[in-house]
Chains A and B, each alone.
Chain A
Amino acid sequence: MRLDPRTKMVMLFAVSTVLLLGGNGGAMFAVRTAMLLFPFGLLAISGRMHAAGLMLAAYLGSYALAAFAAPTLEGIANAITVATATVVSRFVPTLALAYFVFATTTVSEFMAAMGRMRIPDWIAIPLSVLFRFFPTLGQEARAINAAMRMRNITPISRGASYVENCLVPLMSCAVSIGEDLSAAALARGLGAPWPRTNTGSVGFALVDAVVIAVSLAATAALALSLAFPEAIAW
Chain B
Amino acid sequence: MKTTGNASASTSKTGGRLTGKDLINVGIFTAIYFVVVFAVACLGFIPILMAAICGIIPLIAGIPYMLFLTRARKFGMTTILGLLTGIIMFITGMGYFSIATGLVFGLIADLIWKSGSYASASRAILSHGVFSCWIIGNFLPFLITANTYLPTVRAQYGDAYVNELMTYLQPEMYPVLLVACFATGIIGGFIGRAILKKHFVRAGIA
Contact = CB atoms under 8 A, between A and B. Distances in A.
Q: Do chains A and B touch in the complex (CB under 8 A)?
A: yes
Contacts of B205: 172, 175-176
B10 interface: no
Interface in A100-156: 101-102, 121-123, 125-130, 133-134, 137, 141
Nearest to A129: B27
A15 B195 CA distance: 39
Interface string B145-183: 100110111011110110011000000000000000000
A128 B27 contact: yes
Interface string B11-50: 0000000111101111110111001100000001111101
A122 B83 CA distance: 11
B158 A172 contact: no
Contacts of A130: 27, 30-31, 84, 88
Contacts of B148: 21-24, 226
Contacts of A82: 157-158, 160-161
Contact of A66 (B25, B145, B152, B157): B157
A198 interface: no
Contacts of A23: 148, 152
A126 B48 contact: no
Interface residues of B, number: 58
Contact of B153 (A84, A86, A122, A163): A86
A97 B93 contact: yes
A20 B153 contact: no
B31 to A, nearest CB: 4
Nearest to B38: A95
A191 B44 contact: no
A174 interface: yes
B104 to A, nearest CB: 16
Interface in A1-24: 12-13, 15-16, 19-24
12 contacts: A12-B90, A22-B145, A24-B151, A24-B152, A70-B158, A94-B94, A95-B93, A130-B84, A137-B32, A167-B60, A186-B20, A190-B20
